[in-house]
Amino acid sequence: MSKIKKTEMDKEQTIIMSGNYASAWGAKCSRVKVVSAYPITPQTTVVEKLADFVEGGELDARYIKVESEHSVMASLVGSSMTGARSFTATSGQGLLYMTEMLHWVSSSRLPIVTTIASRGIAPPWNIWAEYTDILSVRDCGWIIQFASTHQEIFDSILMGYKIAENEGVMLPYFIVYGGFTQSHTSKPVRIPPQKDIDSFLPSPPEKGWSHLNLDPENPITHGNLLMPQQEYLDFRFLIHDAMMKSKKVIQKTITEFKKSFKRNYSGLTENYKCKDADVVLISYGALAEQSKIAVDELRKQGKKVGLFKLRYIRPFPNEELEELFNSGVKAIGIADQGTAFGNPTGGPISTEVMSLLRLSGKKIKVLPYVWGLGGRDVTVDEQIHVFNQLITLKNKNQYPTDDTFQHGTVWMGLKTGV
């Protein structure tokens, strides 16, 4: 096991690494104290790398091996309650298996950070990029952020802990990226000097979190019964309230991050050439990043199109979308890389955007999309096709006429025998 030389940690390094390793490095550089993990494709190499770090003495942490993802999160509930910075990573079925404990974490207001290498849900088995795993736990009280690049995965973990551990937030934090397309591809990632990371992200308070701290000297019980007329409802509201108010802390943290490391993230959303656009596509994840190429291509043809990338879906970027609706945009497409069977639209996020649009009172034409399920390729050409469909909708008020348009949603790539 090669030990990192101290001199190397003192200066910035650029290392070519996979998205999963960027996740492991993010946890290491955040100096997490407890890692609990159960391996699952495509997350596996995150927790393998962390095991390496702990075993090699590069990360001073306890590594807890357990028999399931449910136990992963249960053990982190325990560790986080002692004030220890706690980390795990999972994917697909593993995240679903963890679901009950996700509520224990958010409702105990524990600032655990977890990365998700998202994959399709079985059956039939599928291990490739799709976000139905995270989208189906979107209402668990966790902050949910998408990372579209390897660097963003690493950086987001540092920011994630800072946001989650903020006294006024105290909510757990998901960082999500696509299985294989991001988890297993390699790109350069810049690792800042550890001392700079330490001053951006100091250790949690020695005496534990002020709201909940397991301490044998001061025994407490947590999570016990509240009767209907007691404050159960009120504590639910507090979680929602903290989530909504976390937006300010997110913005502040991004600003501080830029000051410390000279890398800028736009905020809850990223607005790419939307300013004068009359057709905008709203999307998230790596496919949204790719849409920028489609936008550039169409801009060359003089078409006023833009991309509106959601970096966060919890908290939901209401204000940013409100601004978009007021920008003069005429037609909006919303592309979900995940399903919500029986939803008003085929995907969950398109429904949420449409409900906000209704509240804004703007008469903007909307077309929801479901794309990229189970890692199905979505090419730049197909994204250009999406924009052209939206342009047709704007100009002629004409919805797609081919067989992929079903129940008011376009299922991109649906096999129609053509």
Partner 1 sequence: MKKDDPKSTETKCPVYKSWRELPHVPISRGMKGSIGETGDWRTYRPEIDAKQCSKCGICYVYCPDGVILFQEGSVPSIDYTYCKGCGICKVKCPKNAIEMIRERE
Give least dist CB 210 to partner 1, A.
7
Rounded Cα distance between 266 and 279, Å, is: 21
**Which one of 40-48, 205-213, 344-352, 392-400 is the stretch in contact with partner 1 (CB under 8 A)?**
205-213
- Phi/psi of residue 45, each to 5°? -70, -15
| Two tokens, residue 290 | 């790719």
Considering only 4, 54, 238, 414, the residue that binds partner 1 (CB under 8 A) is 238
User: How many CB atoms are closer than 10 A to CB 290?
Assistant: 17
Q: Are 323 and 362 in contact (CB under 8 A)?
A: no
Of residues 211 and 275, the one with the C-beta less far from partner 1? 211
Is residue 216 at the binding interface for partner 1, with CB under 8 A as the rule? no
Give least dist CB 66 to partner 1, A.
24
Q: Which of 409, 159, 155, 130 is nearest to 285 (CA)?
A: 130
Considering only 1, 7, 225, 341, the residue that binds partner 1 (CB under 8 A) is 225
Is residue 108 at the binding interface for partner 1, with CB under 8 A as the rule? yes
| Parallel, antiparallel or unpaired: strands 279-283 and 269-272 | unpaired
Considering only 2, 7, 224, 401, the residue that binds partner 1 (CB under 8 A) is 224
Q: Are 32 and 203 in contact (CB under 8 A)?
A: no
Considering only 9, 212, 356, 380, the residue that binds partner 1 (CB under 8 A) is 212
Give least dist CB 156 to partner 1, A.
24
Considering only 2, 7, 221, 401, the residue that binds partner 1 (CB under 8 A) is 221
Number of alpha carbons in the 13 Å side-chain half-sphere of residue 211: 14
Is residue 218 at the binding interface for partner 1, with CB under 8 A as the rule? yes
Is residue 237 at the binding interface for partner 1, with CB under 8 A as the rule? yes
Rounded Cα distance between 290 and 148, Å, is: 9
Is residue 244 at the binding interface for partner 1, with CB under 8 A as the rule? no
Is residue 107 at the binding interface for partner 1, with CB under 8 A as the rule? yes
Q: Is 102 helix (H, G, I), strand (E, B) or coil?
A: helix
Rounded Cα distance between 418 and 416, Å, is: 6
Site string for partner 1, 155-174 (x = CB under 8 A): ---------------x----
Is residue 226 at the binding interface for partner 1, with CB under 8 A as the rule? yes
Rounded Cα distance between 169 and 159, Å, is: 13
Considering only 55, 60, 198, 231, the residue that binds partner 1 (CB under 8 A) is 231
Contacts of 341 (CB under 8 A, 6+ apart): none
Considering only 31, 33, 109, 150, the residue that binds partner 1 (CB under 8 A) is 109
Rounded Cα distance between 87 and 90, Å, is: 11
Is residue 222 at the binding interface for partner 1, with CB under 8 A as the rule? yes
Is residue 269 at the binding interface for partner 1, with CB under 8 A as the rule? no
Give least dist CB 275 to partner 1, A.
39
Give least dist CB 321 to partner 1, A.
27
Give least dist CB 73 to partner 1, A.
17
Instruction: Count Cβ neighbours within 10 Å for each residue of 111-150 and write b for 16 or more, e otherwise.
Output: bbbbbbbbbbbeeeebbbbbbbbbbbbbebbbbbbbbbbb
DSSP output for 5-51: PHHHHHS-EEEEEEHHHHHHHHHHHTT-SEEEE---TTTHHHHHHHH
Where does this chain bind partner 1 (CB under 8 A)? 107-109, 170, 210-213, 215, 218-227, 231, 234-235, 237-238, 241-242
